[in-house]
Structure 1
Amino acid sequence: MARFSRSDFTLDSFRRQLANVDALPQLCVLGLVSGLITGALMVVFRLLLSAGALLYMPEGNPEAFESLAPWGRAALPFMAVGLIGTLLYRQKAAARKLGVGHVIERLTYHQGRFPLRNWLNQWWVGVVAVLGGLSAGREGPAIHLGAAASSGLGQRMRLPNNSLRVLVACGTAAGISASFNTPIAGVIFAMEVVMMEYTMMSFMPVILASMMGALVAQVVYGNEPAFHIPDVALGSLMNLPWVVMTGLVIGLLAGGFIHLSRLQHFQQWPLWGRLGVVAFITGVAAFWFPEVQGIGYDSVAAALNNQLAVQVLLALIAVKLVVTALTVAGGVPIGIIGPVLVIGAATGALSGLLGGWVWGAKAADPGIYAMLGMAAMMGAVLQAPLAALMALLELTHTPGIMLPGMLAVVVACLTSRQLTGCEGFFISSVRYGLHPLQQPLMQALSRVSVPAVMERHLVRTSRMITPDQARRLLENNPIWLVIERSTSDKPVLGLKAAALARWMIEHDESSSDNASNEGLIDLLEIPGERLEMAPIALQATLSEAFLTLQNDALDALYVVHGNRPKQRRISGIITRGAIERYYHYSDPRDNDSSHKEPQPKE
């Protein structure tokens, strides 16, 4: 029976275990904590929306724009844009990055570390955008707040960067789960859109985080589905060609939405010109069609129950699409998932009405097409078909819709990608589709931190040592000698301890007396290969180490541990060969015994 000591339960031991690729129990614990934190944050965010709505919305409903006077609701976007422009755009450009795109960028290029200022900005910008009548959703803020808070937990505990990546995915999943009450869709969204990978080490912690986020939200808001829909079915298979046509139209709309939101000419306008246009078009649209304002979940519910007039459906398709896309292009950081669902539901409902006119009694209920439209539009805009299908299932609680849902989502995704040339919305917003985590090698190396493969048997020494000092250095059988230089501008060097031991043996054998042993040994002069090394943090992943070695043309790095410069110590050495041995495949059957180290295939 295994025995455990107190050292097995220390924070340092926890960090060391997380550095490995098989730290599943530790990651699951972090997933539970992340889900609890994110779920609580989502409850607070929704309470802030409700509290703000009490100031001027009828019955404190954040989506009751239809009940406001036309001039009042038309004035709200001007106030919201003015507030965001004054308070947000007076800050540095880096502090203005918010939402899902910011989460993917920090995960991709900054190892999942988030600035505190952006996180604080996301709170008030998310509330102002929704309550100010802009066409904005609450999912973008939810994902940013949850991912950054979860990552912040890992940073406070100084966990390795590979675990920060999982924490970001946990916060993302829990944010979606708590916002929609869709735990499965939260998991798939985190893995398909943010992490862009499916691994057991990531899946289980993310599942636990999503579950915990949903539980926290259900404790406060109950377990009701997001939308109540009638009991309807597709009926005749003759509807399937019309489903294909609906998916084709939605794919074209999704491509148009992405292209319009990336409108280069508009993005080059002066700031206040762009913000003025956003406020003007939103205000004018709101005067005539208040349904385009806010998140629009009330409009989705009405579309699912055939309660919207044709002119309102057209406004939700055309006007809300243009308003939302130009708001993004204008630089206002809003969540787009909610508006995308509204546009898709309206398109599907209108398609269903047209289908009833064409097919007559054999046509399915327009509410069915509204459901399909939601999933198709979400899948096409995000290029995340599985997340869209899971959202469809959990939002509607209608398993029978999955078969036509698959067809609609695939057709819409293919149309958006192939006919309009659009990548996913968030991939397009991060370096125009150049996403390093889509590279399999970088994905694999990002799952492990340097402590998992670094060589820990080393000693630090100066360049000039006496023979007695050399013998003392070799007493504990180190693998590496880290030669520290006299000035900081000279690189730290790594020398195999075996080279010094060999020199000592040869020197002792060739010496007839001990007089020559009294001189100093120059470690830069004895035979042996010396590697120039650069520092890397203990929390870094193998992908960071790999890129550092590649960019600086080095063969080794020394791993530093500690926050203060004067208190930093060298914990190990990681070589290019150690990284290559990690990602090269080795068949264990090729080994003579299970005790041998696996050898890489050449």
Structure 2
Amino acid sequence: MKVVTDPAKLLLDRMMRLLRWRVWIAEKLQPTEWQLTLAWASLAGFMGALACLFFAACAEGIHQVMTNSSAGVIESMRLLPWWARVLIPATGGLLAGSVLLMGNRLIKGQSSTDYMEAIVIGDGHIPLRTSLVKITSAMFTIGSGGSVGREGPMVQLAALLASLLGRWRHFSRQQLRLLVACGAAAGIASAYHAPIGGSFFVAEIILGTIAMESLGALVAASVTAALTMQVLGNADRLYDVASFEMGSPLEMGPYLILGLLAGVTAPFFLRSLRRAESLFMETNLPLIARLTLGGLFVGVIAINVPEVCGNGYAVIVDILNGQIAWMMLIGILCCKWLATASSVGSGAQGGVFTPTLFMGAAGGYLFGTGVHAIWPAAALHPQTFALVGMGAFLSASSRAPLMAVIMVFEMTLSYHIILPLMLCSVLAYFTARGIDSHSLYGDTLEKKQAEEKETVLNTGKVQDLVKTNPPLVPPTARFEEIARLFLSVRVNNVYVTTSEGRFLGAVSLHDIKPYLGEPGVAELVLAGDILREDFPRVKPEQALNEALALFLEHDVQRLPVVDDAGILLGSLSKNDLMLAIVERGKRPSQAAAV
């Protein structure tokens, strides 16, 4: 047997073997861009879970340094003398403000886009330095006992990593926005052990649609994040509650009243946060002074009520276990409301999701206690009213009843509360919407929506979704060059153009299959010999629905975009087109409620 020693022939034989595998995968497995999107979404979910664990560890480390205690925030505050309870939150505000001040000098001129803006009205680009400054500031606020939640900076960090991942891979605008949304969903899923709730949080509140084109990727990211947390973190449910049994349908009556009360109270809670922000701004104090003052207010309240420190999780657990007297809870509720307004109003970086859950749990428990005193049979366990109150208040505040129901169910795994939870959440939603149009996250975007420029969703033309620099070869390209391009770029079609850029046709991965077993013949093949001149193409001025019709007619993942002169401008991805159509299909009312 003659041994081949020519390096060129050895290289060609190797490429032939690799191409045969490439063709087999394309024909048998038929991978699409959607499958690749799910893979990247899963990676974003894994990175998001690691980001949440990292942030939690850093915040806990700051807390231990400032309080010299490894106990929880509330327990640590109880062990401190009164002056330390005042000093630590104020010092945390001072450090948080200093980080923001110094960071603003370093990032002067850089956008302050957060993950919601990047998804809804942006291009998926989240500034690195700006986000790191905000996240670091949040660590000091949370570590010192500020009355804000961890979920805000956790989600921001997870979304930031997803944005960096997408930019590294040169994702298109639509793909990058979806990947950032996947990072945000992973952050929520990691923070609350709620993969379904994390998916619907982003789908219902931010994206405004639950179409599978976006929900599938969100689910992949959330599930991956939840699995990562189970392996590396805590896999238990967030709130351990007793079972609940409804004795009679008449018991739904008190829950209806609870839904109405939650719908009425939630808008006033949101107004108080906005009013507190206005009051702090009217002082004209420097940023550091405002944050220090906000921390000082929290510390003064914590002298007698240390339960106001932190996001309220520990108090919610005590409420659900019936370990807090109702009279004491009234005082804690009022003080926590004031402390949250102080932290949020001063400009502290952090979330309000868990404080919102606290407001609903406390209010629901107090209402359930009152019902038990009047009609014991209708409220055997006031803790069940606390659970339902959490969902109802969250629904009224976020204007996302479906997400609220799913989140509370996943956090408690209590199936028996579903009926009153669904009813109360929907009733609270419609009640709150009739009182005030503002929602928990709506104001974040309204500030910049007025500046939003016309996007691809308004124009609806192919030219807005064109991705430049597609893989292409000249008509004189030899088989070896074509093979190398197919192996280096994940595409099923390579475009053939002249030196002036005029589109001649495309070489399909399946077109080269007959030559894979004949290396001698393959050496003589040129791109111009095997190209398909009738390959479908679109023009930049065509409407998106016309391009969709071509995709449905031809089994391709990308279409070349060619102008009237026949010059290749780029390619249109089926994945990008479907995402754009889904976004265009969002109702105006949904977009305005985000």
Normalised TM-score (structure 1): 0.69
Which residue number corresponds to residue 443 of structure 2?
Answer: 428
Which residue number corresponds to residue 145 of structure 1?
Answer: 157
Aligned equivalents of 1:297, 1:88: Cα separation in 2: 27
Which residue number corresponds to residue 549 of structure 1?
Answer: none
Range with greater deviation from structure 2 (115-124 or 392-401)? 115-124
Describe how 1:181-260 pairs up with structure 2 within 5 A: 181-260=193-272
In structure 2, the CA distance between the partners of 1:474 and 1:357, relative to structure 1 (3 Å rule), is closer
Q: % of aligned pairs identical? A: 25
Which residue number corresponds to residue 416 of structure 2?
Answer: 400
Paired positions, count? 475
In structure 2, the CA distance between the partners of 1:217 and 1:6, relative to structure 1 (3 Å rule), is same
Cα deviation for residue 126 of structure 1 reads: 2.6
Cα deviation for residue 187 of structure 1 reads: 0.7
Which residue number corresponds to residue 43 of structure 2?
Answer: 33
Higher RCO (CA < 8 A, seq sep 6+): 2
Aligned equivalents of 2:208, 2:83: Cα separation in 1: 45
In structure 2, the CA distance between the partners of 1:58 and 1:477, relative to structure 1 (3 Å rule), is closer
Aligned partner of residue 323 in structure 2, secondary structure: coil
Letter of the structure 2 residue corresponding to residue 329 of structure 1: G
Which residue number corresponds to residue 124 of structure 2?
Answer: 112
Find 1:308's aligned residue among 321, 324, 335.
324
Aligned equivalents of 1:76, 1:447: Cα separation in 2: 56
In structure 2, the CA distance between the partners of 1:137 and 1:403, relative to structure 1 (3 Å rule), is same
In structure 2, the CA distance between the partners of 1:407 and 1:97, relative to structure 1 (3 Å rule), is farther
Aligned equivalents of 1:581, 1:138: Cα separation in 2: 34
Describe how 1:245-394 pairs up with structure 2 within 5 A: 245-263=257-275, 264-272=278-286, 274-394=290-410
Which residue number corresponds to residue 495 of structure 1?
Answer: none
Describe how 1:45-84 pairs up with structure 2 within 5 A: 45-55=55-65, 56=67, 58-64=69-75, 65-84=77-96
Which residue number corresponds to residue 429 of structure 2?
Answer: 413
Aligned equivalents of 1:279, 1:183: Cα separation in 2: 33
CA contact (8 A) 2:73 2:145 kept: no
CA contact (8 A) 2:391 2:404 kept: yes
Aligned equivalents of 2:327, 2:409: Cα separation in 1: 28
In structure 2, the CA distance between the partners of 1:74 and 1:425, relative to structure 1 (3 Å rule), is same
CA contact (8 A) 2:316 2:362 kept: yes
Range with greater deviation from structure 2 (443-452 or 101-110)? 443-452
1:451 counterpart = 2:479? no
CA contact (8 A) 1:453 1:574 kept: yes
CA contact (8 A) 2:405 2:422 kept: yes
Aligned equivalents of 1:7, 1:92: Cα separation in 2: 55
Q: Which runs of 5+ in 2 are unaligned?
A: 1-15, 475-497, 506-538, 545-560, 583-594
Superimposed CA distance per residue, residues 522-577 of structure 1 (whole angstroms, 9 cap, x where no aligned partner): xxxxxxxxx9x9xxxxxxxx9xxxxxxxxxxxxxxx99xxxxxxxxxx961799xx
CA contact (8 A) 1:225 1:394 kept: yes
In structure 2, the CA distance between the partners of 1:284 and 1:377, relative to structure 1 (3 Å rule), is same
Aligned equivalents of 2:102, 2:219: Cα separation in 1: 39
Aligned equivalents of 2:359, 2:461: Cα separation in 1: 37
Superimposed CA distance per residue, residues 202-237 of structure 1 (whole angstroms, 9 cap, x where no aligned partner): 111211111111111111234211111122334333
Aligned equivalents of 1:582, 1:188: Cα separation in 2: 17
Cα deviation for residue 298 of structure 1 reads: 1.0
Cα deviation for residue 318 of structure 1 reads: 2.2
Aligned equivalents of 1:399, 1:159: Cα separation in 2: 40
1:127 counterpart = 2:139? yes
Aligned partner of residue 572 in structure 1, secondary structure: strand
Aligned equivalents of 1:582, 1:44: Cα separation in 2: 32
Letter of the structure 1 residue corresponding to residue 50 of structure 2: A
Letter of the structure 1 residue corresponding to residue 52 of structure 2: M
Q: Which runs of 5+ in 1 are unaligned?
A: 460-470, 479-530, 534-541, 543-557, 560-569, 586-602
Letter of the structure 2 residue corresponding to residue 245 of structure 1: I
Find 1:173's aligned residue among 185, 197, 211.
185
In structure 2, the CA distance between the partners of 1:418 and 1:33, relative to structure 1 (3 Å rule), is same
Cα deviation for residue 155 of structure 1 reads: 0.5
Describe how 1:505-544 pairs up with structure 2 within 5 A: none
Range with greater deviation from structure 2 (149-158 or 236-245)? 236-245
Superimposed CA distance per residue, residues 305-359 of structure 1 (whole angstroms, 9 cap, x where no aligned partner): 1111224322343222232134223222221111111111111111111111121
In structure 2, the CA distance between the partners of 1:24 and 1:312, relative to structure 1 (3 Å rule), is farther
CA contact (8 A) 1:458 1:572 kept: no
Aligned equivalents of 1:95, 1:416: Cα separation in 2: 39
Aligned equivalents of 1:278, 1:97: Cα separation in 2: 27
Give structure 1 regions of 4+ aligned residues with deviation exceeding 4 angstroms. Answer: 3-9, 93-98, 432-437, 443-449, 452-459, 471-478, 579-585
Letter of the structure 2 residue corresponding to residue 54 of structure 1: Q
CA contact (8 A) 2:200 2:210 kept: no
Aligned partner of residue 89 in structure 1, secondary structure: helix
Cα deviation for residue 143 of structure 1 reads: 0.8
